[in-house]
Each structure stands twice: as structure tokens, then as C-alpha cells.
Structure 1
Amino acid sequence: MAKPMTKTQLVAALADEMDSDKKTAGAALDAVVAIITREVSGGGAVTLPGVGKIYCRERPERMVRNPATGETIKKDADKVVKMTIAKALKDSVNG
């Protein structure tokens, strides 16, 4: 498995793709991340065409087991961020 792309590498690739400098590309990436974070944390969802949909889902209260002790405890309800991958991306990876 290849190593994941770092933010520095992503900014450099984005700057190259945009024919721009790294400072502008970094600002654009930070702005996109801030918008996604604000929307999803507010209960909304963001669809990135060709990539997928990022959304927040609520998980109910449930019983979980501590693997070290075997003790079962009640875990409170919480929220979790999910992502559904777009069919176009799945097809390009498998194709």
C-alpha cells in the first residue's frame, strides 16, 4: 500500500493543477476544509462531485465491552462523521 499524501504534497499538487503558487493553493485547501467542517458539524452534509458525500450520523446509546477486562459498560449516544464514496471514484480505482 502506498503512503498517504501529506498536506504539503497535496498543496503542491493543487498549486500545480491550478497553475498557481503554493500559498494560494494552501489557502484554497484550508477554506474548503473549513467549509466542510462547519457544514458537517452543524448537522449538514457536503457532496464533493466525483469523490463522495461527507455527513454526520448519530449513534444511539449502546452497550460496549472493554477488551482488557471483559467488562460491559454503557456508552452514551454520540455522533460520528461518515463518508460515502462516489461510484465514479470506485469505478476509477477498480477499472
Structure 2
Amino acid sequence: MNKSELVAAVAARTEQSQKDVDETINALFEVVAEAIGKGEKVSIPGWISFEQTERSARSGRNPATGETIQIPATKAAKVSAGSKLKAAAKG
């Protein structure tokens, strides 16, 4: 399911316009991205959680040359499935 299919499905269930649903979904992800950028955790209990994680610096290899390189520390987004989402995936 892609975003347009998701918007159509939610609009059909909630009897809202697809435009309103699309704006709501966009706003949701903007809020989540902003919160994660600040280092906050966003959690919808039982369904999903989003948080910022830190990756430490490490050494790696350039696959083309085999040369050892230093990979700097960085921050990344971590997404975890909750128990209800995991149960739905199992069928």
C-alpha cells in the first residue's frame, strides 16, 4: 500500500475528504520528525514508536579500494513495532 492508497482507505473509513486525510497524515509525520529531531520519543502504545538513536564512530572499509576509513558518529531514527502491530503481522 502506498501513500495515496492509504489516504483513500482512511478517507473511506472516516468519511472525510482525501485532501483532509492527506493533510493530517503529512502533519503527523512533520510532528514526528520535529520531535525526533529534538531527541524526544514519540510512542503510540501497542502500535509503533519513533526515537532518535546515536551511532558511535567506527572504522570501515571502502569496498572499491579496500582502504580503511573512519566513519563518524551520527544520529539516526529508530522505529519499533508495538505488540498490536506485531500481532497483525502474524495474521
TM-score by structure 1 length?
0.87
Extract unaligned runs of 5+ from structure 2. Answer: none
The residue number in structure 2 matching 1:39 is 35
Partner SS for 2:12: helix
Cα distance in structure 2, aligned partners of 1:88 and 1:21:
27
**Runs of 4+ off more than 4 Å:** none
The residue number in structure 1 matching 2:54 is 58
The alignment yields a C-alpha RMSD, in angstroms, of 1.2
Paired amino acid for 2:11: A
Extract unaligned runs of 5+ from structure 1. Answer: none
Cα distance in structure 2, aligned partners of 1:82 and 1:91:
20
Cα distance in structure 1, aligned partners of 2:84 and 2:7:
23
The residue number in structure 1 matching 2:22 is 26
TM-score by structure 2 length?
0.90
What is the count of residue pairs matched by the alignment? 91
Cα distance in structure 1, aligned partners of 2:10 and 2:90:
24
